[in-house]
Amino acid sequence: MDVDAILRTLHRRTAMSWRELGAQAGTSHATLLAYAHGRVSPTADTVERVVHAGGFELEPALVRRLPDAARRGRELEDVLALAEQFPARHAPALMAPVFGR
């Protein structure tokens, strides 16, 4: 989520005016509006201060990117090679139900 979307969501969820939110955060409402409309980029500390002023916590999440196809292929080959090293233990009789009788 972009900073401008975070601030607009915060504004909507707090039901505070931009002036009230700015006063709580120690900044002007005009500056908050500039942030909310993407005209100015606030620092991470400023965003955190504004979010806290609205009574919320901002929790960033790190999400792993999917590796490229060649790397995924090599990883699969490594896993299959490792699996071949384990002994296969099969039951002497088939333990599944027989259908169609």
**Which domains does the chain carry?**
3-53 (1.10.260.40)
Token readout for 66 is 């999917």
Give the C-alpha separation, 10 to 4, whole Å.
10
**Distance spanning both ends of the chain, measured CA to CA:** 57
pLDDT at 67 over 80: no
CA distances from 90 to 2, 11, 83, 94 (A): 54, 62, 15, 9
Buried b / exposed e across 60-73, counting CB within 10 Å, b at 16+? Answer: eeeeeeeeeeeeee
Q: What is the pTM of this model?
A: 0.60
- Per-residue pLDDT reduced to its tens digit, 81-97: 999 898 888 778 877 78
Q: For position 95, what pLDDT does the model report? A: 78
Q: How far apart are CA 7 and CA 90, in angstroms?
A: 59
